[in-house]
Structure 1
Amino acid sequence: MTKPTVTSDRNAEGVCIRIAGDLRTQSLDQIEGAFKSISPDGKDVIVDLSGVQSMDTGGAWLVADLERRIDTSGATVHLEGLQEAHASLIETVSKNIPEAVGEQAPPRGLVETVARVGERTAGAWKDSVSIVGFLGLTLHRLVRTLIMPWRLRRAALVSQMEQTGFKALPIVSLMGFLIGVVLAFQGATQLKQFGAEIFVVELISISILRELGILLTAIIVAGRSGSAFTASIGSMKVQEEIDAMRTLGLDPIEVLVIPRVLALLIMLPILGFVADIAGLVGGALMSWIDLGVSPGMFLTRLKENTDVWQLAIGLIKAPFFALVIGVIACWQAMQVKGSSESVGQRTTASVVQSIFMVIAIDALFSIFFSELGI
């Protein structure tokens, strides 16, 4: 293998660079410095490759990078003496050199940190304004649909009710049953110390009916149905199906968002009620096994000491949870930016934000009902 060489001559017309030898990857380290030092200074450059005996992809990349660097500086480059195979290889490599430069690591320091915090705060504010606007738009379309019910897409509504409600019954029922079992077992362990095992009925009924039943149901729905909403609508956004809807004169909010939000508004209270019943059954069963509280005694104390308001307070929260989950999931889907990676990121953000908002709204309701003395 012949050692590669690079020589250059300058004259009034420009620069002539002569390259000779074997331009192969294993020997390029010998001439990389010479290539980097070539500076045309705005003059035309002639690259004479007639002395090149062989060339591989690494050598072609070195020549193509030199050619691009010279073009960027404003000079004109001419390749001469190229063999046909070498010319074809250089052309192929030139077409596949990435133009984007890799991102640099973010600068570190107090000023940069404050700047990043400011940017994220501004971004959070813009997102908050955007989602409030989306909520208003959704409520407007929802009210219009209720006033003009013939605009409702019934087939889509029934399909979404099946997906978000009927198919979620097994997991919601199992969750409620296990929560009742856990509450009865843990409550019995503590109440036995005071000889007050019978009060486990009130512990189970109030905890499940008032808080845990609907709260955990909403969290499951946010993870199950909310993520499905974001993924499905986000995929449509990537494939430009939503733009096609607008071109056809269809309203994406009315076609895609309203059936999903309305399905949640209808099905979440039903799922919450199912979770409450399953939780009471699990609690009664565990109380019977661990404490000897018979099902008849459990029902008697449930009727005597648990007000119907405990159930109502839990179910009153359901429509608010449903609206928040549906709006956040669909809004996140509308923010997808043309890639499958964006769909995954938005789906994750949808679940996290929905669960956070559900817990925050539940806390606000707890304070509200406490102030009312209910």
Structure 2
Amino acid sequence: MTQIKSAPLDNTDYSPPHKDITAVLVLEDGQVFWGYGIGKAGDVVGEVCFNTAMTGYQEILTDPSYTGQIITFTFPHIGNVGTNPEDIETTGPAALGMVIREDITSPSNFRNNQPLNDWCRERGLVGISGVDTRRLTRFIRINGAPNGVICHNPEGRFDIPALLEKARAWPGLKGMDLALDVTCKEPYSWEESCWSLGTGYGKLEQPRAHVVAVDYGIKRNILRCLASAGARVTVVPAQTSAEDILALKPDGIFLSNGPGDPAATGVYAIPVIRTLLDSGIPMFGICLGHQLLALAMGGKTEKMHQGHRGANHPVMDYNTNKVEITSMNHGFVVDKESLPENARISHISLFDQTLCGLELTDRPAFSVQHHPEASPGPKDSHYLFDRFMEMIEKHA
């Protein structure tokens, strides 16, 4: 496939470079990337980020933490193993769309059920191929994640000025609460455990404890890992009160991952978390849940320049002095200098020394920024779920 060059910043001729063009990516600074449409026809606007993972594109596209975002995959061969009904993290809203380098090839994998392009079309995902993803990624690394619009029009007609205006008008993720867009509507129980080759997903047989998981955009594999560790899980919506959570008589409380600005979600989440901390019930948070725990303790969060999104991020666990290869997906981070005296740093990123985990010294609570349920290591961080269960049993 011929790579389509992006338009220069001062370009005023917005005509597609040739008649086969069916999609365009327009950034808020005026850059125009031409290409070929993927998935559903139409347009989407959001924050354009990049993910460096070489595998797991289906899990990435269905991760609720990507709500409001357009994913640029730095790995060029996306779609080559197709899709299946098992490797999904949610059935609801997730990533808005994707940007890739090469055409989607015919799937080649024994677990394939449907080509990626058809799967995207059914899920309403808009995408573009043929983009110089190296150039786009370098731009994001230098300038930060921009607003952008993908427009897929099979007839090749595009109103570039209107798309540019749409990108510039989008408010951005800072200050945006998106947890309410992806949280469950009603409480539900979860007993499905992790997947094994030949047998598929298992089922919790002998529960060790009852865990209430607050759903800010929870990934299914987090629930599976909790079940595999022995937790009978009750999932509750993001705005569930502390009184209603405590009425469920949990042995442990889990704060889930999710999208958006933690400070915005914290408006209603922080008072609840503080009450739950005061109850003395063991607590474990991941990603957004980690950030919300830090905010509830009096810490601060801030928007990152480009974020961490990939499956090869080295993290040091100060409890064991071991380095874990982790999966990450976040655009906000906890300011480690803002942590109170009753919190200690438990994990740190070896890429940029950002905070990746914390523990309370006076209460049974801890959290991590990375995703231990993912499998980049492949299971370097799964011990955290066992650590949570051990904490629960210790404080029973």
Q: Return the TM-score normalized by structure 2.
A: 0.20
Higher Rg:
1
Bigger RCO (CA 8 Å, 6+ sep): 1
Higher helix share: 1
